[in-house]
Amino acid sequence: MKTEQHKNLIDYNTFGMSVTADSFVEVNSIEEVQQLIKQGVFQSNFFILGGGSNILFTKNFDGTVVKNNITGIRVLNEDNENIDVYIGAGENWHQTVLHCVDQDWGGIENLSLIPGCVGAAPIQNIGAYGVELEDVLTRVHFIDLSNGESKSLENKQCQFGYRNSIFKHSLKNKVLITGIELRLSKKHDLSLEYGAIKSQLEIENITNPTIKDVSNAVIAIRQSKLPDPAELGNSGSFFKNPIISTDLFNEIKKSNPSINCYPVNETHVKIAAGWLIEQCGWKGKRIGNTGSHAKQALVLVNYGGAKGSEVLALANKIIESVKEAFNVTLEPEVNII
């Protein structure tokens, strides 16, 4: 375990922001995390870094960045219908999905090509195309940063919500996630209703899809509208899709009949943040070295040399314009540091 001083993080965040951390250390095991606790690293300013795909650094980090590289995938239990799998927090999420699909373990194929590491997945309760992590997660393992003890929470204890969990609130900066457990299926119940999955399968002339077919369809859809961070700095969806009252939705629909929604409960619906942003004229608009992507308004990008403060300023302008036009307040999905 090596600590580096004044480390440039440009290769550790998908926005490609050139910022430095006072100190930078990579941990590969629970024992190394416990060493850092004894050294007092978590008693001062710190940030736990995974894949760097859901972060906007707006300035240099005055403290220690701890890169979580704890890996490993192993089967815990299985029967004729299900298989329980443990996955280390430092594993790449998309590669984990592909591994499970190749093993014919179903349940997370709709979450293909989501960037980042496994450890961030329960924090964000990641989701896409009608599936959320909470649908298959059974347990989260973590280290208590106050005393180094290994602990875990069951699904119902994680307080999952839309892009939300206990790890964003009462346990924020108090734990380091070391791994998760998923219950995946051997007899698959495919989720094809959300988004353009059915249309993509029709394009490929697939009438009896497997989980591999669904994964490939999701990958194709995402690649068609989301820029590759290796080519154009971004963090994927910058904003959450807002949940609004049915009354407000009906009011918006009067003058915008093309708007769609997804029911949440009897009184609230979810609407597409990208649609709102596009209606306000931001899609494809560039300001300096940043802008809203031409194929997906929800994605803010770094065209090269942008500062995090520029991206944040653009995000705030978008929030203001959507609020003025629709009386809807967008919330960032990314962590702004």
Other beta carbons less than 10 A from residue 298's beta carbon: 26
Helix (H, G, I), strand (E, B) or coil at 133: helix
Active site residue 237: yes
Q: Looking up tokens 């850092």, which residue turns up?
A: 36
C-alpha closest to that of 140 among 123, 126, 127, 128: 123
**Which is catalytic among the residues 53, 215, 237, 292?**
237
Residue with tokens 């280390």: 88
If one counts every other C-beta atom within 10 angstroms of the C-beta of residue 335, the result is 15
Residue 224 per-residue DSSP state: H
Q: Which two tokens stand for residue 87?
A: 């996955």
> Pick the catalytic residue: 163, 181, 222, 292?
163
Question: Which residue among the candidates 26, 32, 278, 333 is catalytic per the annotation?
Answer: 333
**In degrees to the nearest 10, what's the CA dihedral of 150, 155, 156, 161?**
110
**Beta strand 335-336 with 55-56: parallel, antiparallel or unpaired?**
parallel
Q: Is 215 a catalytic residue?
A: no
Q: In whole angstroms, what is the distance from residue 76 CA to residue 273 CA?
A: 39
| Cα–Cα dist 148/229, whole Å | 35
Measured from the Cβ of residue 11, the count of other Cβ atoms closer than 10 Å reads 10
| Rg, the chain, Cα only | 20
Confirm whether 163 is a catalytic residue. Answer: yes
Q: What are phi and psi of 166, to 5 degrees?
A: -65, -25
Residues catalogued as catalytic: 163, 237, 333
